[in-house]
Amino acid sequence: MAKVLVTGGKGFLGSHLAAKLAKTEDQVRIFSRQKGTNSSILRDSNYEFSWGDIRDSRAVENAVEGVDYIIHTVSNFRKGGSDKDDAYSTNVEGTENILRAAEKHNVQHIIHCSTIGVHGTVLEIPANEDTPFNPTDLYQETKLIAEKKVWEFYQKTKLPITVIRPISLFGAGDMRMLKLFRLIKQGKFIIVGDGEVLFHPAYIDDVVQGFLLCLGNERAFGEAFIIGGEGYLTLNELCGLIAEELKVRPPKLYVPMVPVLALATLCEKICVPLGIEPPLHRRRVSFFQNNRAFSIDKAKQILGYQPQFSLEEGIQKTIQWYQAQGWL
């Protein structure tokens, strides 16, 4: 019986990973800085908890001691540029703490959760693991620095490591996409630009499957994988599918990109130097601006990965969960 540490185990992805692992014979330790078990995803199983901040090397060492595997999902909450120090200390220095502790305690395998954001607005369609990096915001930049630290560590120590770059996640427990679903239901969602930008959604259960296929798998050692859904579509098409499942009309409100982007840039210039989170920022506008379209062929070929849920099924399940919580 293996013991698996899930850092960020109370977050959206981390909680789903911990819950799935708990259904196997593995023991699960969750590392989190927030005490208590307020995630509905975690309520049906018993977990070992280790409380602390990923930036605290001693807390990280305590969490890592005695585990066989680590799935590292901690990252800072994405903001509009007012969080420069927090982004670096959490995404980069926190990852370095995990790596050092893993080496000290002879961990058998680390799965590092990066992001497809390291590819930014993709330079080829569909992008793959070898597509040049092209980060476009602070979060993506610091996640790329962290990933490079991981590869440097791997070359130096040869401790088995796998990097996973999840595609845009949605599903039960996700609060980020909840805003999109709500606004579409209310008929208030405004599309910036023409809505023809490409978006690649990934249902949470499929992404969890990809992580677990890597865990302890020698074929995954030293490899990076893009994990997500079967295909991509335009933002207009995505909104249309969500509206269809909600039984409402699809969004019809469009505003031009250029003035919105200019306003976001101005907000950042005024707010960020003052340490104030901008009410509108370029990262938020990038949802309507950057293409996100990826190939999952490498994961299919090496891991035998195969998404189990169609986009329509994922949207249906997500809506049902939101409604059960009284959120939609």
Q: Please calculate the CA angle 300-301-304 and round it to the nearest 5 degrees.
A: 55
Report the alpha-carbon distance of residue 50 to residue 40 in Å, rounded: 19
φ and ψ at residue 125, rounded to 5 degrees: -125, 120
pLDDT (0 to 100) of residue 37: 55
Give the DSSP letter string of 257-280. Answer: HHHHHHHHHHHHHHHGGGTPPPSS
R_g of the chain, CA atoms, integer Å: 20
Distance CA 243, CA 249 (A): 6
- What CATH number corresponds to the domain at position 306? 3.40.50.720
The structure's pTM equals: 0.93
- Domain region containing 129: 3-176+200-233+292-312
The predicted structure's pLDDT at residue 136: 85
The pLDDT score that the predictor gives to residue 286 is 86
At residue 252, φ and ψ (nearest 5 deg) are: -125, 0
Q: Assign residue 65 a region: left if phi > 0, alpha if psi is -120 to 50, beta otherwise?
A: beta
Q: Assign residue 222 a region: left if phi > 0, alpha if psi is -120 to 50, beta otherwise? A: left
> Is 159 within a domain?
yes
Whether 279 is covered by a domain: the verdict is no
| Domain assignment of residue 186, yes or no | no
User: Would 62 be classed as within a structural domain?
Assistant: yes
Is residue 320 included in any domain, yes or no? no
Question: What does pLDDT average to in each consecutive run of 10 residues of the chain (328 residues)?
Answer: 93 94 89 71 80 96 97 79 77 97 97 95 92 90 96 97 97 92 96 96 97 98 97 96 97 93 86 81 85 96 97 97 94
Q: What is the pLDDT of residue 38?
A: 54
Residues in the chain: 328
Q: What is the DSSP string of 217-269?
A: -GGGTTEEEEE--S--EEHHHHHHHHHHHHTSPPP-EEE-HHHHHHHHHHHHH
Total domains in the fold of the chain: 1
Cα–Cα distance for residue pair 203/200, rounded to 1 Å: 10
Establish if 18 belongs to a structural domain. Answer: yes
Q: What is the pLDDT of residue 49?
A: 92
Strands 223-227 and 161-166, by their bridges, are: parallel
132 vs 284: CA distance, rounded Å: 23
Query: CA 294 to CA 248: how far, in whole Å?
Result: 29
Query: What per-residue confidence (pLDDT) applies to 297?
Result: 98
